[in-house]
């Protein structure tokens, strides 16, 4: 962690590529992400929402990361995704998490900054990176659902003040993407992204990139996006592979066999997303 993870984003920003952050939920998904990233020599983040941390258990999540350090040579970190509880974040920083997102975006501007600053003050002396969000994405993430009409795009002037006053390392922007799957054609406000980039010099983060065409993601990377989150498409690949296998082999009871197709499908999606992020051979 420490300087190496900070370096991860600085290198991405300088090299005009993005670090893919994959939401992992179990050993199978974690290994599929790390094995593919190792093969393609891509840095990655293993993202875990509060729901996932609860499901896996903090010790297992951290324990898997520590085991993976012995096996894989690529740069990677466990990243807390959309965490809202400051005490949870602090505890997991102490356990060895290298990157955290404090999502206080549903609070008013001043309150959002106050909460984020508290996390930054705790994380930075320990070399841990902090991501925060300004604006609000629509869609469903974990147990949190935001209606389209309640989505708020990131205000560039506020973004500048937010970054300066909190000292965060990366900023998640709301420019029209949504969590989960799109109902219609995704429309991104690239002009807004450009306006944010003009006044904010830290790496920017794209949430809700599932279903966005690669060419459009490339455009956002060109305009300052240095981290792209991938959650929904991994879930879809995993369950689709499982369904295919189990409908062909309804009697199969061995997880080492019935997960096999799902893992192959997962690895294909991970490879596609690494290609989309242009992060291969950057490890
Ligand atoms: Zn998100």
80 Cα: distance to centroid of ligand 1 (angstroms)? 11
Q: What is the pLDDT of residue 143?
A: 66
254 is catalytic: no
Q: Which of 3, 81, 150, 201 is flagged as catalytic?
A: 81
Mean per-residue pLDDT, 264-273: 97
**What are the angstrom distances between the C-alpha of 276 and each of 20, 33, 115, 126, 179?**
9, 15, 33, 32, 18
162 Cα: distance to centroid of ligand 1 (angstroms)? 19
Q: What is the pLDDT of residue 211?
A: 84
Q: What is the pLDDT of residue 175?
A: 93
Residues sharing a CB contact under 8 Å with residue 43, sequence separation 6 or more, in sequence order: 8, 12, 19, 37, 74, 75, 76, 279, 282, 283
Name the token pair of 198.
């003009």
pTM above 0.85, yes or no: yes
Is residue 85 scored above 70 in pLDDT? yes
Question: pLDDT tens digit string along 136-186?
Answer: 877 777 766 777 666 789 999 999 999 999 999 999 999 988 887 666 677
Q: What is the pLDDT of residue 74?
A: 97
Distance CA 79, CA 196 (A): 24
Distance CA 117, CA 106 (A): 16
Question: pLDDT tens digit string along 12-26?
Answer: 999 999 999 999 999
Name the token pair of 153.
């795009």
Mean per-residue pLDDT, 94-109: 94
Confidence category of residue 1, pLDDT binned at 50, 70, 90: very low
Is residue 2 scored above 60 in pLDDT? no
179 Cα: distance to centroid of ligand 1 (angstroms)? 6
Q: What is the pLDDT of residue 160?
A: 97
Cα dihedral 97→162→19→22 (10° resolution): 60
Question: pLDDT tens digit string along 213-267?
Answer: 999 999 999 999 999 999 999 999 999 999 999 999 999 999 999 999 999 999 9
Is residue 47 scored above 90 in pLDDT? yes
Mean of per-residue pLDDT scores for the chain = 93
Q: What is the pLDDT of residue 4?
A: 62
Q: How many CB atoms lie within 10 A of CB 194?
A: 14
Mean per-residue pLDDT, 27-50: 97
253 Cα: distance to centroid of ligand 1 (angstroms)? 35
Q: What is the DSSP string of the chain?
A: -HHHHHHHHHHHHHHT--EEEEE--SHHHHHHHHHHHHHHT--EEEEE-HHHHHHH-HHHHHHHHHHHHHH--S-EEEEEEEE--HHHHHHHHHHT--EEEE--TTS-HHHHHHHHHHHHHHHGGGT-EEEEEESB-EEEETTEEE-GGG-BPPPHHHHHHHHHHH--SEEEE-SS-EES--SS-----HHHHHHHHHH--S-EEE---TT--HHHHHHHHHTTEEEEEE-HHHHHHHHHHHHHHHHH-TT---HHHHTHHHHHHHHHHHHHHHHHHT-TT--
Q: What is the pLDDT of residue 209?
A: 87
Is residue 6 scored above 70 in pLDDT? no
Q: What is the pLDDT of residue 64?
A: 95
Q: What is the pLDDT of residue 183?
A: 66
């Amino acid at each position: 962690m420490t300087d190496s993870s900070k370096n991860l984003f600085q290198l991405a920003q300088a090299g005009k590529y993005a670090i893919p952050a994959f939401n992992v939920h179990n050993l199978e998904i974690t290994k599929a992400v790390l094995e593919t990233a190792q093969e393609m020599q891509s840095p990655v983040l293993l993202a875990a929402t509060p729901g996932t941390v609860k499901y896996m258990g903090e010790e297992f999540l951290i324990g898997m990361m520590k085991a993976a350090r012995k096996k894989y040579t690529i740069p990677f970190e466990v990243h807390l995704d959309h965490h809202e509880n400051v005490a949870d974040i602090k505890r997991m920083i102490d356990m060895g998490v290298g990157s955290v997102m404090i999502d206080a975006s549903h609070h008013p501007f001043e309150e959002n900054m106050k909460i984020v600053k508290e996390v930054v003050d705790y994380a930075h002396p320990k070399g841990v990176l902090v991501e925060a969000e300004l604006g609000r994405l629509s869609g469903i993430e974990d147990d949190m659902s935001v209606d389209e009409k309640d989505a708020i795009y990131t205000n560039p002037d506020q973004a500048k003040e937010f970054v300066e006053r909190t000292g965060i390392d990366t900023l998640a922007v709301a420019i029209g993407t949504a969590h989960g799957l799109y109902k219609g054609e995704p429309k991104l406000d690239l002009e807004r992204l450009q306006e944010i980039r003009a006044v904010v010099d830290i790496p920017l983060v794209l949430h809700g990139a599932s279903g966005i065409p690669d060419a459009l993601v490339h455009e956002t990377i060109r305009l300052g996006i240095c981290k792209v989150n991938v959650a929904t498409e991994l879930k879809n690949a995993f369950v689709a592979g499982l369904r295919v296998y189990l409908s062909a082999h309804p009697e199969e009871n061995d997880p080492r066999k019935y997960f096999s197709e799902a893992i192959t499908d997962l690895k294909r999606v991970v490879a596609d997303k690494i290609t989309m992020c242009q992060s291969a051979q950057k490890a």
